[in-house]
Amino acid sequence: MTAYEELWRARFGTDAPDGPADEDLQRLTGFLSRRSCRAFKSDPIDEPLLASLLACAQSAPSKSDLQQYSIVVIDDAAIRAAMQEWSSFDPWIAEAPLFLVFCGDLRRQRRIAALRGYEHRNDNMDAFMNTAVDAGIALATFVAAAEAVGLGCCPISVVRNHIEEACALLGLPDGVYPVAGLALGWPARQGYVSMRLPPAAVIHRNRYDDDGFEATIDGYDRARHAVYAIPPEKQRHRDKYGTADICTWSENAARQESLPERDGFRAFLLKHGFALD
């Protein structure tokens, strides 16, 4: 089995199509084999390196060049400890050398409009989406840059579970809200490759087509379960649905989506300075 075939099977659990030229594969290997890091060394991250990684994040594409995001770098142990209390299953919030929070930011554009004597009239759902997408692209670009130099990363959405507390703790004013956190540090051990949905379920050519959906998901469930069986403690909402002998990816995903998550998010945004018209 070639290196490309191994990468593909680890990622998708299926036989690989024809691969790229060797020189292209070398450039893509880091992306195809990427994995989240959940164990970090205590070694610090040098400030010049951190500044460079943040500059890489700021080099990401941005809607209309508006750059509607902010990044909060948290190295204060007390703040980290307070945030860690929100999550018993993500110990790396406090354990990783650094924790960053990527935020959607509409406040800056409002202030720029006022600075130049204009009325800001784009406080709607599309504006909110633009802030979220800009923050997400910046986060992904930061992750790619950090992993390119050997650092490990783990995005964490739990900051939105306690969004009011997060805004108070980080001093986020109206128009600024947390999208996701990111644990950052030098890996203490290698993470595992999380098997993704087969391209047939995700990639469409010219028109959306989900014919064969059930068979595709069934095949994915089987391939993923053969590599990683979801243990009881990782099964969602056991108090409601019990513990399954075999809990597949789709079973666990369906359980998670069966109960509302963060259903106060819209109310928070309305209270936090977004009109969402």
8 Å CB contact between 44 and 36: no
Q: Percent helix, strand and coil across the chain, each rounded to 5?
A: 50, 10, 40
C-alpha 186/C-alpha 96 separation (Å) is: 8
Our CA angle for 164, 60, 267, nearest 5°, is 20
CB count in 10 Å sphere of residue 216: 17
Residue 26 is predicted with a pLDDT of 86
CA distance 265 to 163: 8
Give the DSSP letter string of 171-236: T--TTEEEEEEEEEE-BSS---PPPPPPHHHH--SSS---TTHHHHHHHHHHHHHHH-PPPGGGST
33: nearest Cα among 25, 45, 41:
25
Q: So what's the pLDDT on residue 211?
A: 94
Report residue 163 as tokens.
Answer: 């969004």
Residue-wise burial string across 238-263, b where 16 or more C-beta atoms lie within 10 A, e elsewhere: eeebeeeeebbbebbeebeeeeeeee
Name the CATH architecture for the domain at 47-191: 3-Layer(aba) Sandwich (3.40)
What is the distance between the alpha carbons of residues 147 and 37, in angstroms, rounded to a whole number?
Answer: 10
Per-residue model confidence (pLDDT) at position 90: 72
Task: Note the pTM of the prediction, 2 decimals.
Answer: 0.94
Domain ranges of the chain: 47-191, 197-259
Q: What is the pLDDT of residue 33?
A: 92
Q: In 10 A of CB 181, how many CB atoms?
A: 28
Nearest of 263, 244, 269, 277 to residue 107 by alpha carbon: 269
H or E stretch covering 73 = strand 69-74
Report, as ranges of residue numbers, the positions in the chain whose pLDDT lies below 50. Answer: none
> What's the pLDDT score for residue 132?
97
CA 206 to chain centre: 27
Helix axes 249-257, 213-227, angle to 10 degrees: 110
